[in-house]
Chains A and B, each alone.
Chain A
Amino acid sequence: MKFPSLPWNRFPFNINFRSHARAIRLTVLVLLLGLSGYILYLDITIREAFEGRKFALPARVYGRALEVYPGLKLTPAQLVEELKTVGYHEDPEPEAAATYKYTLNGLEFTTRDFVFGDGPQAAQHLRIEFAEGRVSLLQDRGSADVDLPLLRIEPPLIGGIYPGHNEDRALLKLEQVPKPLIDALVSIEDRKYYSHWGIDPRGIARALYKTLSGQRIEGGSTLTQQLVKNFFLTSERTLTRKGTEVLMALLLEMHYGKDEILETYLNEIFLGQDATRAIHGFGLASHFYFDRPLERLELQEIATLVGMVKGPTVYDPRKNPELVLQRRNIVLQEMVRLDAITQAQFVEARQKPLGVIHRAPTGTSAYPAFLQLVHRQLQRDYREEDLRSEGLRIFTTLDPRVQRQAEQALSQRLADIEKARRMTARTLEGAVVVSSTQHGEILALVGGREARYAGYNRAVDALRPIGSLAKPIVFLTALEHSDRYTLVTPLDDSALVLKQAGTSDWKPQNYDHKYHDHVQLRTALAHSYNVSTARLGIELGVDNILDKLPLYGIERRPPSFASSLLGAFELSPVEVAQLYQTFADGGFRTPLRAIREIVTADGRPLQRYPLNVDPVAAAAPVYLLTNALQGVVREGTAQSLGNWLPAEMNVAGKTGTTDDLRDSWFAGYTGDRVAVVWVGRDDNKPSGLTGASGAMTIWGEMMKNIEPEPLLPTMPEDVELVNVDPVSGLVYDRECSTAVVIPFIKGTAPTETTPCADVATILPTDESPVIATDVKSEAKPEMNQTPEKSWLQRLFN
């Protein structure tokens, strides 16, 4: 059988003609395949980029929600301030959400719908009245007014964070974007945006011509192309890149609607550089250049931002204000030409100055230090993928009112101190932490005197020797040995030389460079005597004392030297706050918290940080310690705190001063607040301030404005109050006008009695200590104070 001749048998004869056509066909096929593969690749790439940006919603961080109820200490002005913070505005008919109006005795207002961590709360029409500095009436306005027991106002939004990225954005929804901005953008950048398919052929042709004729590639980019370019930012300007860009723009328009693309553009476009941080999106740019959210920008400010799209490096309003002003006015002109604004609006806007703030804030939040703490807590507690869940809502403990007082007290007092002491301005730095006594919630955190600017967060990161702030640990350990120590136990304050292995001889000195023979335990703490404290600590055992630090929530282990008892070890202000929180709360340790709960976008609780307490010290010794710390303020190193706070406040506190006056500390508590202030210099040079002349004055100024509750600790059942002779520490045999009332753990009061010589009537009255009333006066440093007063003088304290 003969096989029919097959075509390929003839192949060699027709090679010139047939193979040519085939080769071309093959090449085209391969090219087409390659091209579609490439397009597919581009398609995947661009969609990934787009989807990634589109859904990167930040976690929203809220401060504490103000709880309002009849009886609450609150003034109309304070309420209005709170309402303004959460975006309410005045309206003669306050029926719409987030509006208010003043009435004769208070306010009428309407809240918003809001989903709290524990569920939704519907908008309410309300009436509130005030009397004598308190809320006297809270009603739901309706056909019949109903008294309400409690109202929770929406919490203030204090920032947005990308827990996963550590990137700052102020993301916008298209409906949030002011219409003039979109008009301006379309007018000046891409007039045919709403009709083209992603590219503008005429623009491309022009660009192509210019490139081929050897000129620079420029212009012709639609908003879609610009967005594509922005996703893959390179400075490369080649034809292939341009080709890729065109293809991607077409693909993008195939997949997504105009509004979606525009929204992403508005959030993505590059608008400036802040050191290592790129400013992307109009939301962030609005904060960066005008320190306001986009919704609150004026027409000419919007035009400025739109003008900068052309080239934010050249059109940088801080570097080239003239150029930017010209460009802004071109944008305005184009807007009026296309009837996007009226002639009158144009004339008015054109006359306005640029209005760009001189120095950029470092973020979109007014509370960078607090936000950083929140961020760190998140990083500690979560895996990154858990945090990618979009739109998390984080409810925190920040109280904007307390925070404001803390910031103001710090910046104002530091400036005053520098002025009064003729120091170079901005030499001093400081940090403040305020927490709530019984809940351990961090209400305010100030990381430096310029609280608005993120940077070195001293409240959390500055590790400084704590000096005498460590002494309460020694004294509490002593008081826990109630068989050996009471508040009146005499301590030896004579010269001490300690030889320790591994270190040179240690000779602690008192601040006044004197020794005081024998002093009562409470007096040694009140006047912060170093020598008697060191002797007491050595008697108790250095390690026995330092080993207790973890109980109070301090993880760092100071070196086992006796000098550690006098605070020769470093802690951050927030750690000191944790330490004093236990003293303030009767021996219960509550871990400090910045976050209450985290809720997913659909309202599902992701994590709660419940209130936990741990009894780590017996109530009675802590009660005695608090009494001694009240003595520090009443008659010891912090006596001048009386310039800020009345004696009835019964503040307990401790000053801390380190070698060569490098660090000035004050830690203390009232009935409801624990606060720590540190002042010093970033270069660690001497600040010239004692605890009392620096940090304490800030503490006092801040607390005065916070209006805390007085400190009235509950007396434990195993404590009794005894009248003793302040000098001898012996119990009086009868009621005596010279007695001081000292708490003792039952059964530990001195058994010896002393006769009462009631001589109060012959006291010279001019010897009573003068409590200064001039609040502005500089507090006295510790060294100027009488170290020990006679019992006659103390009688009047």
Chain B
Amino acid sequence: MNRYSLIIIFALLLVGCASAPMQAPAASTLPDAAPQEPLPSPTGDGVTEPEPVRSGNPAVVALLDRARMDTGAGNRGAAGASLERGLRIEPRNAWLWHELAQLRLASGQYAQAVSLARKSISFAGGDRRLQAANWRVIGNARVAQGDSAGAEQAFKLAAEFEPVVPTEQPATGLFGNP
């Protein structure tokens, strides 16, 4: 074996050593990947707002669709079960936590709506649109709880995160408002 081939083998070994441990963690965080890119801001009137990418995992997307269907059919219990299935696959997906908060809001469970929205915020990172949506859930829940000062504060925060959204636009989410 000549020196040249030895160098090549050595180089290959090095590449192998270097890439193997790097792949593992990258792959292992794959199912937990949160929505990455902040979405383009709506163009003023809020009509052309694109659907946000809620998960990169088709399994989670399928479960979100199913939750939407169940909610449409008036079956909030089953919708909640689907969202929880999604969360078992992607426990740190801030959109799933947000959808669950919306669902609780729609079911009149205001305290849980607030808690779940806070949980979503804790995973939302730099997604300002999601932050705003969560503060709107909190605001709406506080209105329903009779906490007008708290609600005002939450709506103000929502506006800070997403200043271009007109105030009369309802909270965007699968489950609407109560």
Interface string of A258-271 (1 = CB under 8 A from B): 00000000000000
B71 within 8 A of A: no
B59, B91, B115, B118: the one within 8 Å of A438 (CB): B91
Q: How far is the CA of A149 from the CA of B25 in the complex (A)?
A: 23
B84 within 8 A of A: yes
| Residues of chain B with a CB closer than 8 A to A709's CB | 28-29, 32
B59, B84, B125: the one within 8 Å of A439 (CB): B84
Across the interface, do B57 and A69 meet the contact criterion of CB distance under 8 Å?
A: yes
Smallest CB separation, B122 vs chain A (Å): 6
Smallest CB separation, A63 vs chain B (Å): 14
Residues of B4-45 contacting chain A, CB below 8 A? 25, 27-32
Dominant secondary structure at the B interface: helix
Which of B75-83, B143-151, B153-161, B163-171 forms contacts with chain A?
B75-83
Q: How far is the CA of A149 from the CA of B82 in the complex (A)?
A: 14
Residues of B92-136 contacting chain A, CB below 8 A? 92, 100, 112, 115-116, 118-119, 122-123, 125
Across the interface, do A69 and B58 meet the contact criterion of CB distance under 8 Å?
A: yes
A672 within 8 A of B: yes
| Residues of chain A with a CB closer than 8 A to B27's CB | 132, 134
Smallest CB separation, A137 vs chain B (Å): 12
B85 within 8 A of A: yes
Which of A3-11, A287-295, A608-616, A750-758 forms contacts with chain B?
A608-616
Smallest CB separation, B123 vs chain A (Å): 6
Across the interface, do B89 and A615 meet the contact criterion of CB distance under 8 Å?
A: no
Across the interface, do A67 and B89 meet the contact criterion of CB distance under 8 Å?
A: yes
Q: Across the two chains, which residue of chain A brings its CB closest to B85?
A: A67
| Residues of chain B with a CB closer than 8 A to A588's CB | 115, 118-119, 122
Across the interface, do A605 and B91 meet the contact criterion of CB distance under 8 Å?
A: no
| Residues of chain B with a CB closer than 8 A to A150's CB | 58-59, 62-63
Across the interface, do A118 and B25 meet the contact criterion of CB distance under 8 Å?
A: no
Q: Across the two chains, which residue of chain A brings its CB closest to B84?
A: A611
Q: How far is the CA of A69 from the CA of B119 in the complex (A)?
A: 25
- Tell which of A70, A437, A613, A672 has the most Cβ of chain B within 10 Å: A613
Across the interface, do B57 and A438 meet the contact criterion of CB distance under 8 Å?
A: no
Across the interface, do B112 and A608 meet the contact criterion of CB distance under 8 Å?
A: no
Known: A72-B31, A436-B88. A614 touches B115 (CB 8 A): yes
Residues of A414-447 contacting chain B, CB below 8 A? 436-439, 441
A69, A610, A671: the one within 8 Å of B80 (CB): A610
| Residues of chain A with a CB closer than 8 A to B88's CB | 67, 436, 439, 441
Across the interface, do A714 and B125 meet the contact criterion of CB distance under 8 Å?
A: yes
| Residues of chain B with a CB closer than 8 A to A610's CB | 80, 84
Q: How far is the CA of A671 from the CA of B123 in the complex (A)?
A: 13
Smallest CB separation, A671 vs chain B (Å): 8
B141 within 8 A of A: no
B137 within 8 A of A: no
Smallest CB separation, B60 vs chain A (Å): 8
Across the interface, do B122 and A437 meet the contact criterion of CB distance under 8 Å?
A: no
| Residues of chain A with a CB closer than 8 A to B25's CB | 648, 710
| Residues of chain B with a CB closer than 8 A to A251's CB | none
Across the interface, do A118 and B112 meet the contact criterion of CB distance under 8 Å?
A: no
Q: Across the two chains, which residue of chain B brings its CB closest to A397?
A: B88
B61 within 8 A of A: yes
Q: How far is the CA of A648 from the CA of B28 in the complex (A)?
A: 12
Interface string of A595-608 (1 = CB under 8 A from B): 01100000001001
Across the interface, do A613 and B123 meet the contact criterion of CB distance under 8 Å?
A: no
Smallest CB separation, B56 vs chain A (Å): 9
Across the interface, do B81 and A613 meet the contact criterion of CB distance under 8 Å?
A: no
A71 within 8 A of B: yes
Q: How far is the CA of A149 from the CA of B28 in the complex (A)?
A: 19
Across the interface, do A714 and B89 meet the contact criterion of CB distance under 8 Å?
A: no
Across the interface, do B81 and A597 meet the contact criterion of CB distance under 8 Å?
A: yes
| Residues of chain B with a CB closer than 8 A to A586's CB | 122
A548 within 8 A of B: no
Smallest CB separation, A323 vs chain B (Å): 53
Interface string of A62-77 (1 = CB under 8 A from B): 0000010111110000
| Residues of chain A with a CB closer than 8 A to B125's CB | 714
| Residues of chain A with a CB closer than 8 A to B63's CB | 150
| Residues of chain A with a CB closer than 8 A to B78's CB | 118-119
Across the interface, do A67 and B59 meet the contact criterion of CB distance under 8 Å?
A: yes
Smallest CB separation, B81 vs chain A (Å): 4
A117 within 8 A of B: yes
Q: How far is the CA of A596 from the CA of B78 in the complex (A)?
A: 12
B70, B89, B119: the one within 8 Å of A613 (CB): B119
| Residues of chain B with a CB closer than 8 A to A437's CB | 91
Interface string of A225-237 (1 = CB under 8 A from B): 0000000000000
| Residues of chain A with a CB closer than 8 A to B115's CB | 588, 612-615
Smallest CB separation, A642 vs chain B (Å): 16
A469 within 8 A of B: no
Across the interface, do B77 and A608 meet the contact criterion of CB distance under 8 Å?
A: yes
A325 within 8 A of B: no
| Residues of chain A with a CB closer than 8 A to B29's CB | 709, 712
Of the A-B pairs whose beta carbons lie under 8 Å apart in the complex, a sample of 24, sorted by A's number, is A71-B31, A118-B82, A119-B78, A132-B27, A150-B63, A436-B91, A439-B84, A439-B87, A586-B122, A588-B115, A588-B118, A588-B119, A608-B77, A610-B80, A611-B80, A611-B100, A613-B119, A614-B115, A615-B118, A615-B119, A619-B122, A648-B25, A709-B32, A712-B29
Q: Which residues of A contact B (CB under 8 A)?
A: 67, 69-73, 117-119, 132, 134, 149-150, 152, 436-439, 441, 586, 588, 596-597, 605, 608, 610-615, 619, 648, 671-672, 709-710, 712, 714, 716
Closest 10 CB pairs of A and B: A69-B59, A438-B91, A149-B58, A150-B59, A118-B78, A149-B62, A118-B81, A149-B59, A613-B115, A615-B118
Q: Which residues of B contact A (CB under 8 A)?
A: 25, 27-32, 57-59, 61-63, 70, 77-78, 80-82, 84-85, 87-89, 91-92, 100, 112, 115-116, 118-119, 122-123, 125
Taking A70-B59, A150-B58, A714-B125 as given, write out 13 further A-B residue pairs in contact, using a Cβ cutoff of 8 Å, ordered by the A residue number. Answer: A67-B85, A69-B58, A118-B82, A149-B59, A149-B61, A152-B85, A438-B91, A441-B88, A588-B118, A608-B77, A615-B115, A619-B122, A672-B91
